[in-house]
Structure 1
Amino acid sequence: MGWSDEAARAVLGRVFDAAVKAADPRAVLAVHLPEKPAGGRVIVLGAGKSAALMAQAVEAAWPDLPLSGLVVTRYGHAVPTERIEVAESSHPVPDEAGAAAAARLLALAGEAREGDLVLFLVSGGGSSLITLPAPGLTLEELKAVNRALLASGATIHEMNVIRRHLSAISGGRLAAAAHPAVVVTLAISDVPGDDPAVIASGPTVPDPSTFAEARALVAHYRMALPPAAAAHLAAAAEETPKPGDPRLGTPDYRFIATPQMALLAAATEARASGLTPLILGDALEGEARGLGLALAGIARAVRAHGHPLPAPCLLLSGGETTVTIGPDGAGRGGRNTECLLGLAVALEGIPGIWALMGDTDGIDGTEDAAGAVAAPDSLARARAAGLDPRAVLAKHDSYGLFAAIGDLVRTGPTLTNVNDLRAVLVT
């Protein structure tokens, strides 16, 4: 039986919703909480796009326990809390509010004493939301660094090596400030490989990277950093806390949601819809349009040969791609819409293939959409609207194309973030 456009879009929507629901802290956080401290205080600190919702979930799980603390989330991502303060700051470009909040987090950690529990709630976006310049640097200089990182083509792992060495709070420095209190981190991972040192630049875990590695990455990507930032990396005056540092001990780091967990939930929803799911990986990286081309090749093989599995099936993947902006890159678009347009251009309207690609936080890059859907007729409709899909892709204006044909996916902020969800339906 053939699939209608309406049915294909509906199943893709349910799959995306299932992935997001699997990362909702209100549903998954409570079982990961540590034992309540016998006599000390509970200080709740946090940073990330989901920090406020995580704080709300802690309050719901521990309704009678005195709690205090501060979490920092993105503008528009706050939710009501009673005992834990919520502050908002800017993402992806840091601002003064975030720097001030980061300084307060560091000060609150420093007030912790032996017998206290410091519960740190971390999720994607924390690196920007609590940007606190290292001594001798200014926020304006770190903003310039952040712009250089986002335009460089570096992976999130590589970006955070540099960020940790220009920060006063990242790379284990927050946990070091809280010593000798017990520090427990509850994390929602938004990074390929779920590396704790990369999520929000690892404020509570040792940093295995070095100033030398940060300098090498700057040179490799030919980043033009502000002179003061380059000088700070060159001086290498104070390394981040390393594995074995007694102030950090053995970090108690607990994942409450990860990209793989979200993909497994999406796969379960796919089976319920009569599809055979195939998870290609939770950590696919590289240039967004290049990954779109690769996924199109796999979809073609399914249609033509029934390999690596027969249709109807759903090809699922997660991770975080990059978009390297060239001289012609004047358009609007995030990594998900660019990957999706790359796939659509490669498929050129092959029948029976639909795809949805979106960021599980509800915001693809800096736009107001989570991502978009591509259908077999997407390119034809774009051309009918006067758009040249290949030219649009070259200008990185994928948002504009999918907006013009009405195929953007708008969820609003989901208040969680397990990175990107890419679903390719082959019927």
Structure 2
Amino acid sequence: MTTPLTDTALDLFHTAIARADPAAAVAQQLARAPLAPLPTGGRRIVIAVGKAAVPMMRAALSQLPQPPAVALAITNPENLTELAGAQVIAGAHPVPDASSAAAGQQVLDSLADLRAEDQVLMLISGGGSALMVAPAPGVTLADKAAVNEILLASGLEINRMNLVRQALSRLKGGGICRAAAPARVTALILSDVIGDDLRAIASGPTVSPLGDRKAAAALLQTEGLWDKLPVSVQQALSAPEQQQDTPTADNILIGSNRFSLDAMAERARALGWEVASVVDDLTGDVADAAQRILDTTEAAASAHPQALLFGGETTVRLAGTGRGGRNQELALRIAEAADQIDGDWLFLSGGTDGRDGPTEAAGGIVTPQTWADIAATGADPKALLSNNDSNAALKAAGALVTIGGTGTNVADVQIFLRRPA
């Protein structure tokens, strides 16, 4: 049975997802700011890459005044589908393989020999860095995979890892712009990265790199990683580097976690709620995130109906063998702390892609009664939480949020609604 609080929370959750709809975001951007007309003899190349490549391409084709010379969409195998007017191919995700390399080469071939009167429209969404790859000359996919394992084990901060990855790629770190020069490049970007650093979204194919090969080599040597690298990688990073500036693209962010949070806030106010807080950096361990939410709700308590909104992407320390995901575990942790929260309240945590971990759920929705409801079924909620079995716990209480795949991904959102006692 739903309640008014449940209805409101689900309304806000779907508002967040709708704001991140890839097709709508592309269509609205191109309607608001159409691409410059092509000069006489000019060609338009449209390349979409990422998990949302197909709907983004479909929307772009519907808005362009004439069919492009090339329309290529590269997506993950699960989203592979035919699209009239475009070629759709699949790369591999999250680990690139030969199909990703073939996709990367096809992109480079499509951008070869462009002229100043030509235009390139890039449609970029999450997952792009694995779906199309083009290793530096002399470096194989196996070599790059070995480097990636070394970087992940090193504990380096993400942008320092990306410095190395970009130095070993012909596409990452502005590679699209260099390959397309002197043609003009416009990129419409759907961000799956908290903070919206364009260098991190799909590894920044239309953004200047974080540094050059020399800087990457120096970092690896300083961190004691150089001797662990394949010889081919050492040679590639030591080779003389031809100075080549990265042409500036017109990079336009058309969707992100923050955009979805703002849309939820606007909708909550329209429904009569006081938006007491909007937090756009809920990251780190899920237990710490739960405490931050509790602290925020306590500090914001008032005599008015309140909506507190959060966005980000947390992590879970796996200590058990259960099934769940970061959103379900976060919801279960808030349910466990029910006695610390005053008033009539509800909390929802969900992934905007409609999937949370290896489960059918997008997340969980809990109230002051949820923890007791789980126990009333004969289950032990604390034992389930300790076993990372949040899915079973929330399912027992009928507290899962299940909406199916949404076709987009701007990380996670959380909604806390409270009416004073």
Q: What's the TM-score, normalizing by structure 1?
A: 0.82
Cα distance 1:107–1:81, how it changes in 2: closer, same or farther (>3 A)?
Answer: same
Cα distance 1:152–1:60, how it changes in 2: closer, same or farther (>3 A)?
Answer: farther
More off after superposition, 157-166 vs 71-80: 157-166
Do the aligned partners of 2:45 and 2:68 also contact (CA within 8 Å) in 1? no
Amino acid at match of 2:293: L
Counterpart residue number, 1:211: 216
C-alpha displacement of 1:205 = 0.9
Cα distance 1:343–1:64, how it changes in 2: closer, same or farther (>3 A)?
Answer: same
Q: Once the two structures are superposed, what CA deviation does each residue of 1:384-410 show, in whole Å capped at 9, x if it has no partner?
A: 445444444444333343344433323
What CA distance in whole angstroms lies between the structure 2 residues aligned with 1:152 and 1:367? 30
Structure 1 position 335 matched with structure 2 position 337: no
Counterpart residue number, 1:14: 11
C-alpha displacement of 1:42 = 0.8
Q: Which structure has the greater CA radius of gyration?
A: 2
SS at match of 1:128: helix
C-alpha displacement of 1:212 = 5.7
C-alpha displacement of 1:277 = 1.7
Which of 85, 92, 95 is the aligned partner of 2:94? 92
Amino acid at match of 2:369: D
Which of 173, 179, 187 is the aligned partner of 1:177? 179
Cα distance 1:111–1:70, how it changes in 2: closer, same or farther (>3 A)?
Answer: farther
What CA distance in whole angstroms lies between the structure 1 residues aligned with 2:383 and 2:232? 40
Query: Percentage identity across aligned positions?
Result: 37
Counterpart residue number, 2:64: 62
What CA distance in whole angstroms lies between the structure 1 residues aligned with 2:242 and 2:382? 47
CA-atom RMSD, angstroms? 3.5
For residues 127-138 of structure 1, the aligned pairs below 5 Å read 127-138=129-140
What CA distance in whole angstroms lies between the structure 2 residues aligned with 1:71 and 1:115? 23
Amino acid at match of 1:98: S
Cα distance 1:150–1:75, how it changes in 2: closer, same or farther (>3 A)?
Answer: farther
Do the aligned partners of 2:168 and 2:237 also contact (CA within 8 Å) in 1? no
Amino acid at match of 1:288: V
Unpaired stretches in structure 2, ≥5 consecutive residues: none
Amino acid at match of 1:37: L
Cα distance 1:164–1:112, how it changes in 2: closer, same or farther (>3 A)?
Answer: same
What CA distance in whole angstroms lies between the structure 2 residues aligned with 1:238 and 1:380? 64
Q: Once the two structures are superposed, what CA deviation does each residue of 1:281-325 show, in whole Å capped at 9, x if it has no partner?
A: 3233222221122102222344xx42xxx4411111222223344
Structure 1 position 320 matched with structure 2 position 317: no
Structure 1 position 232 matched with structure 2 position 229: no
Do the aligned partners of 2:139 and 2:236 also contact (CA within 8 Å) in 1? no
SS at match of 2:391: helix
Amino acid at match of 1:55: M
Cα distance 1:125–1:288, how it changes in 2: closer, same or farther (>3 A)?
Answer: farther
SS at match of 2:278: strand
Cα distance 1:128–1:346, how it changes in 2: closer, same or farther (>3 A)?
Answer: farther
Counterpart residue number, 1:250: 248
SS at match of 2:310: strand
More off after superposition, 142-151 vs 266-275: 142-151
More off after superposition, 404-413 vs 36-45: 404-413
Cα distance 1:27–1:264, how it changes in 2: closer, same or farther (>3 A)?
Answer: same
Cα distance 1:229–1:51, how it changes in 2: closer, same or farther (>3 A)?
Answer: farther
SS at match of 1:426: strand
Structure 1 position 421 matched with structure 2 position 419: no
Cα distance 1:367–1:32, how it changes in 2: closer, same or farther (>3 A)?
Answer: farther
Do the aligned partners of 2:121 and 2:187 also contact (CA within 8 Å) in 1? yes
C-alpha displacement of 1:184 = 1.0
Counterpart residue number, 1:112: 114
More off after superposition, 161-170 vs 97-106: 161-170
C-alpha displacement of 1:207 = 1.4
What CA distance in whole angstroms lies between the structure 2 residues aligned with 1:236 and 1:347? 54
Cα distance 1:299–1:355, how it changes in 2: closer, same or farther (>3 A)?
Answer: same
What CA distance in whole angstroms lies between the structure 2 residues aligned with 1:163 and 1:321? 24
Counterpart residue number, 2:262: 264
C-alpha displacement of 1:35 = 1.2
C-alpha displacement of 1:171 = 1.4
SS at match of 2:355: coil
What CA distance in whole angstroms lies between the structure 2 residues aligned with 1:186 and 1:240? 30
Do the aligned partners of 1:171 and 1:240 also contact (CA within 8 Å) in 2? no
Cα distance 1:107–1:389, how it changes in 2: closer, same or farther (>3 A)?
Answer: farther
SS at match of 2:78: coil
Amino acid at match of 1:169: L
Cα distance 1:344–1:138, how it changes in 2: closer, same or farther (>3 A)?
Answer: farther
Q: Once the two structures are superposed, what CA deviation does each residue of 1:223-267 show, in whole Å capped at 9, x if it has no partner?
A: x9995469837973369999xx53x22221011122222111111
Q: Once the two structures are superposed, what CA deviation does each residue of 1:348-389 show, in whole Å capped at 9, x if it has no partner?
A: 584622111122122234544322222222222333445444
Do the aligned partners of 1:49 and 1:126 also contact (CA within 8 Å) in 2? yes
Which of 371, 386, 396 is the aligned partner of 1:379? 371
More off after superposition, 138-147 vs 356-365: 138-147
Amino acid at match of 2:337: A
Q: Once the two structures are superposed, what CA deviation does each residue of 1:186-222 show, in whole Å capped at 9, x if it has no partner?
A: 1111212211101111011111254268649987xxx
Cα distance 1:403–1:277, how it changes in 2: closer, same or farther (>3 A)?
Answer: same
SS at match of 1:208: coil
Cα distance 1:338–1:159, how it changes in 2: closer, same or farther (>3 A)?
Answer: farther
